[in-house]
Structure 1
Amino acid sequence: MDQQHVHIHADVRLDCKGLACPMPIVRTRKAIADMDGGQVLEVLATDKGSLADLKAWSSRAGHQYLGTLTVDEVYRHYIRKQSTAEAAHPGGSPIPVVSNAELQARRLADPEMVIIDVREEAEFAFGHVRGAISIPLGQLEDRLGELDRERELMLLCRTGTRSEMACRLLVDKGFKRVHNVVPGMSEWDGDTDALTEGQGGLKA
C-alpha cells in the first residue's frame, strides 16, 4: 500500500523533524499535556530512534500508541491521549455483553452482522475487525440515522469501555438490540483489516 496517499485524522500535529533523542519525546510530552483526553497526536520525526522511543514512552505514560507511517523518510507517529472519562464506569442498567469468541461465532452464522467500531479514526485505520463500520464515539449521536433500529448491533472499542458508553447512548435513544463486545480490540485474534500497513500494533 502506498503510505504517501494514506490520510489519518489527527487532532494535533507536532513537527519534530531534524530533532534527535530525547527532543521528540520532550516535545511530545509537552504537546500532549495540552490536549484533551481521547484526542490523537501526529508526531513528525526523522530520527529512527523515535520509532522505539515514542512507543515505549506512550506505554509508560498511559497513552495509546496507534502506529507509524513512513513517508519520504519522515516517520508519522500517531498517539492517542488517554481519556479520564474512560476510567469512570458509567452507571445505569447493565448492558448485554458479548465476548470476542462469541462475536466470532455469531459472525459465522450471520456474515451480515452489524459491527460498529467506536474508536477514533486513527485507531480504526491501523487495524479493525473485518467488516466493521467506523463511527467514533464522539460522532455517534450525530450519525444515528445511519443505523437500523431493528438490527442487532455489536459495538466494540479497545477494551470495552467506550463501547459501553456508546451502547448506553443508543439505549437512551431507543435502540433495543445493542451489545458491548468485551474485551474488544485489545485481545482480538480474529480476522482484521487495516487502512494502512504502517508499523504498529493492529490491535492497539
Structure 2
Amino acid sequence: MIQANVVLDAKGLACPMPIVKTKKKMKDLKAGEVLEIQATDKGFTADLQAWAKSTGHQYLGTETEGDLFRHFLRRGGEPASESASSIPDISLDTFKQKVESDEPLHILDVREAEEYEEAHIPGVVHIPLGEVEKRSSELNKDDEIYIICHSGRRSEMAAQTMKKQGFKKVINVVPGMRDWTGKTE
C-alpha cells in the first residue's frame, strides 16, 4: 500500500474536474510528496497517466476498491510547461458546421471505449487517450486532424502528444461530446 502525504476527494466528479482539482492540489505539494486522488470516474486513470507524463509528475499506480479508484501521484521537481507548444482550438459550433458540410475531415475521438460506444460522430477514428502515443502511427502526420473527447481536456493532451510526435495540424475541439448536438452513431 502506497503512503500518501495528502488525499484529494474527487469522488462523483466527471471529466475534466478530477484533473482540474488534481492540478490545483499538486501545486500545494513539495517535490517528492505523494498525492492520493480518490475518484469514481473510470476514464480518469488514462487522463491522470497522460497528464502526469506531460507535467513531470510520477504516476505511481491505482488501487481499486469496488467503484472507488485510489490513484497515487508523486510530485516532480521543477514543473514542466504544460503548454510548451500551443494547440489551436475550434469551437464546437464551428466544428459542427464543418461536419455537417460533408467536407472530408479527419476526426480522432480519444474518449474511453464505454463513452465512445454510447455515442460518437460517424466516421471518426477511435483511439483512447491512453493509447494515442502507441497508436498514432495509424494516422497521417500531414493530415489536419480534429481531436475530440468529452470536454476538451483529454483531446488537448492527445494533441500535445501527437504534436511532439511530429503531427503538423492537430486541432482541439472544445468543449467536446458533452455538448455535441449533431449526428451520432
Given candidates 111, 135, 139, the residue that maps to 2:127 is: 135
Given candidates 1, 5, 12, the residue that maps to 1:61 is: 12
Aligned amino acid, residue 170 of structure 1: M
Given candidates 154, 170, 181, the residue that maps to 2:173 is: 181
After superposition, residues 1-204 of structure 1 pair within 5 angstroms as 61-63=12-14, 80=42, 82-83=44-45, 85=48, 90-193=82-185
Q: 1:173 to 1:104 in 2, by over 3 A?
A: same
Q: 1:99 to 1:63 in 2, by over 3 A?
A: closer
Aligned amino acid, residue 146 of structure 2: M
Aligned amino acid, residue 123 of structure 2: G
Larger-Rg structure = 1
Contact map agreement 2:119 2:184 (CA 8 A) in 1: yes
2:43, 2:138 → 1: CA distance? 28
2:102, 2:138 → 1: CA distance? 20
Gaps of 5+ in 2: 1-9, 16-40, 56-80
Q: State the shift of 1:159 in Å.
A: 0.5
Q: State the shift of 1:149 in Å.
A: 1.4
Q: Which has the higher contact order (CA 8 A, sep 6+)?
A: 1
Contact map agreement 2:43 2:112 (CA 8 A) in 1: no
Percent same amino acid among aligned pairs? 36
Q: State the shift of 1:93 in Å.
A: 2.6
2:102, 2:126 → 1: CA distance? 19
The TM-score normalised by the length of structure 2 is: 0.58
Q: State the shift of 1:81 in Å.
A: 5.2
